[in-house]
């Protein structure tokens, strides 16, 4: 089998579509096709590279997402026979209750099975899934797991891109994943339109989170997003836009990376041990940045990205502000349309806001609205990844999906330029360790009000 050309990415199916077998069958096909399209620019050599312990080879992403459907959907039939029982060990990620697994840091050593064999594996499982749909073999539990599996694969689509970007950045040749990616650069008039403004909110009680799923709702959400609950949000203000490259350059020029008073203790240790002096992928000259389209000039007005939590927090302190809580962020995002630059826009790098400074018209004057809450960059919050009140994991092995990671990680919100648009929602809780930088992570400022 050959990979689908990168231009053959099908249109997304709405994430809140009814969970009928027909709709889920269509969604399954579209998500699986997108994974192949995203992997199409990669050679077999590219697809095997693992540049650090936190990343995985593209070939492994393609295999693991296939194993998920084989293990948790098809494998629920007592009479099912696996394509290759040994692959259960190779392509399990962290589901201890499903059996042992190959060590994550050594996934890049798996030259066998070959990429061609992995693609044949995907073909075989897709054919078996199609037969299951045709025969009506999937009960409600299997359909729920299948829907979860499509969102799981969309997470791995994003990881495939972030992981190959890190691998290519480690190559002295700095190869591009694709050299035909869309790029919008702001012009000179844009500079005068980007002054930071604040959107204020009085103290109030808000509801955040998603209804428990599976349940009465037709909309999907991961278990960690539930249950929906009430939170007291104090009076605060949010910056109307994310922090830009120009903003962050000012922090660097002012000695931000050499001022220990701005940094958390662990962050300051990383600054000195790595050492850190600029965002990941910025050149030493602070003029160019490595992207999935190769080296490009830094657009000063695009959101800064590839920052750790420590860097985001240090910048906020330097700016006399702070990071928003996830409740503040979600309360604001719940009123906004999910618009922005996503993977479908084919830039694969944060772009300046489409809306510029147009804002909202109120009482005969211009009132700037919140911009770029969704897409472009994941926004760090000041909230640790912990369970909501009343949180319950999914039953069985799938209960390991999120709950056991609720320790030592921090919440990011909003999606990024490599997130599928139909995968994101206001309640979505992403999480990474505070040291992590290889994701498309940036920040938006917040501040307390009297």
340 half-sphere exposure, CB direction, 13 A CA radius: 33
**Pair (327, 416) in one structural domain:** yes
Length of the chain: 450
Residue-level pLDDT at 6:
37
Q: Would you say residue 153 lies in a domain?
A: yes
* 180 domain residue, yes or no: no
Residue 19: pLDDT above 80?
A: no
Q: What is the mean pLDDT of the chain?
A: 90
Predicted local distance difference test score (pLDDT) of residue 20: 86
Phi, psi at 182, each rounded to 5°: -65, 140
Strands (E) located in 315-374: 360-362, 365-367
In a domain, 2, yes or no: no
87 is a domain residue: yes
Assigned domain for 118 exists: yes
- Mean pLDDT over 146-159 rounds to 97
- How many domains are contained in the chain? 2
The residue ranges of DSSP E strands in 192-277, in sequence order, are 198-201, 204-208, 229-233, 236-239
Q: What angle do CA 249, 201, 234 make, to 5 degrees?
A: 95
**SS3 assignment, position 432:** strand
Q: Are residues 244 and 305 in the same domain?
A: yes
> From the CB of residue 182, how many other CB atoms can be counted at a distance below 10 Å?
12
Position 113 confidence tier, pLDDT thresholds 50, 70, 90: very high
- The pLDDT, as a whole number, for residue 212 is 78
The string of DSSP codes covering 1-39 is -PPPPTT-PPPPPPTTS---HHHHHHHHHHHHHHHHHHH
Q: Can you give the CATH number for the domain in which 316 is found?
A: 3.90.1580.10
Same domain flag for 165 and 196: no
Same domain, 113 and 150: yes
User: What letter does residue 217 receive in the DSSP assignment?
Assistant: -
Given a cut of 90, is residue 448 above it in pLDDT? yes
φ, ψ for residue 343 (rounded to 5)?
-60, -30
Residue 182: band (very low, low, confident or very high) from pLDDT cuts 50, 70, 90: confident
If one compares 4 and 165, the residue with the highest pLDDT of the two is: 165
- More confident: 184 or 163: 163
In this structure, what DSSP letter does residue 194 have? -
Contact 383, 326 (CB under 8 A): yes
Domain containing 405 equals: 188-448
Q: What is the CATH number of the domain that holds 55?
A: 1.20.120
Encoded tokens for 396? 């069985």
Q: Band of the pLDDT at 18, cuts 50, 70, 90?
A: very low
Round to whole Å and give the CA distance between 13 and 24: 9
The pLDDT tens digits for 218-259 are 689 999 999 999 999 999 999 999 999 999 999 999 999 999
Q: Are residues 314 and 206 in the same domain?
A: yes
Quote the percentage of the chain above a pLDDT of 90. Answer: 82
Whether 149 and 261 map to the same domain: the answer is: no
Give the model's confidence band at 344: pLDDT under 50 very low, under 70 low, under 90 confident, else very high.
very high
378-384 and 441-442: which strand pairing?
parallel
User: Is residue 387 predicted with pLDDT exceeding 60?
Assistant: yes
Question: Are residues 322 and 409 both part of a single domain?
Answer: yes
pLDDT exceeds 50 at position 3: no
Q: Let me know if residue 314 belongs to a domain.
A: yes
Residue identified by tokens 């290889």 is 438
Residue 217: CA count within 13 A, CB half-sphere: 16
């Amino acid at each position: 089998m050959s990979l689908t050309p990168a231009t053959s990415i099908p249109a997304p199916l709405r994430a809140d579509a009814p969970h009928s077998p027909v709709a889920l069958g269509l969604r399954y096909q579209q998500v699986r096709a997108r994974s192949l399209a995203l992997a199409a620019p990669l050679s077999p050599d590219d697809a095997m590279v693992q540049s650090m312990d936190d990343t995985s080879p593209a070939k492994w992403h393609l295999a693991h997402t296939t194993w998920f459907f084989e293990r948790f959907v098809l494998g629920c039939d007592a009479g099912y026979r696996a394509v290759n029982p040994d692959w259960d060990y190779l392509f399990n990620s962290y589901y201890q209750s499903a059996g042992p697994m190959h060590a994550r840091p050594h996934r890049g050593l798996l030259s066998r099975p070959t990429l061609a064999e992995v693609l044949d594996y995907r073909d075989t499982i897709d054919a078996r899934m199609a037969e299951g749909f045709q025969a009506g073999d999937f009960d409600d539990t299997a359909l729920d797991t299948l829907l979860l599996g499509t969102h799981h694969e969309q997470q791995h689509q994003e990881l495939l891109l972030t992981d190959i970007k890190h691998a290519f950045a480690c190559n002295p040749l700095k190869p591009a994943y694709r050299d035909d990616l869309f790029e919008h650069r702001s012009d000179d008039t844009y500079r005068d339109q980007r002054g930071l403004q604040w959107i204020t909110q009085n103290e109030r009680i808000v509801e955040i989170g998603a209804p428990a799923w599976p349940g009465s709702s037709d909309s999907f959400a991961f278990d960690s997003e539930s249950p929906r609950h009430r939170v007291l949000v104090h009076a605060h203000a949010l910056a109307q836009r994310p922090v830009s490259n120009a903003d962050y350059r000012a922090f660097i020029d002012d000695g931000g990376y050499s001022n220990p008073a701005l940094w958390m203790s662990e962050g300051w240790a990383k600054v000195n041990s790595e050492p850190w002096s600029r965002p990941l992928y910025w050149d030493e000259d602070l003029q160019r940045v490595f992207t999935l389209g190769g080296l490009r000039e830094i657009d000063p007005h695009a959101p800064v990205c590839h920052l750790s939590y420590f860097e985001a927090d240090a910048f906020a302190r330097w700016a006399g502000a702070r990071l928003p809580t996830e409740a503040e962020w979600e309360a604001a995002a719940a009123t906004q349309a999910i618009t922005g630059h996503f993977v479908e826009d084919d830039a694969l790098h944060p772009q300046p806001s489409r809306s510029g400074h147009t804002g909202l018209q109120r009482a005969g004057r211009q009132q700037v609205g919140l911009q770029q809450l969704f897409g472009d960059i994941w926004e760090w919050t000041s909230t640790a990844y912990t369970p909501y009140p009343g949180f319950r994991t999914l039953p069985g092995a799938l209960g390991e999906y999120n709950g056991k990671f609720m320790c030592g990680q921090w919440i990011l919100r909003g999606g990024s330029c490599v997130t599928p648009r139909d995968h994101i929602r206001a309640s979505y809780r992403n999480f990474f360790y505070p040291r992590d930088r290889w994701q498309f992570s940036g920040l938006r400022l917040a501040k307390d009000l009297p």
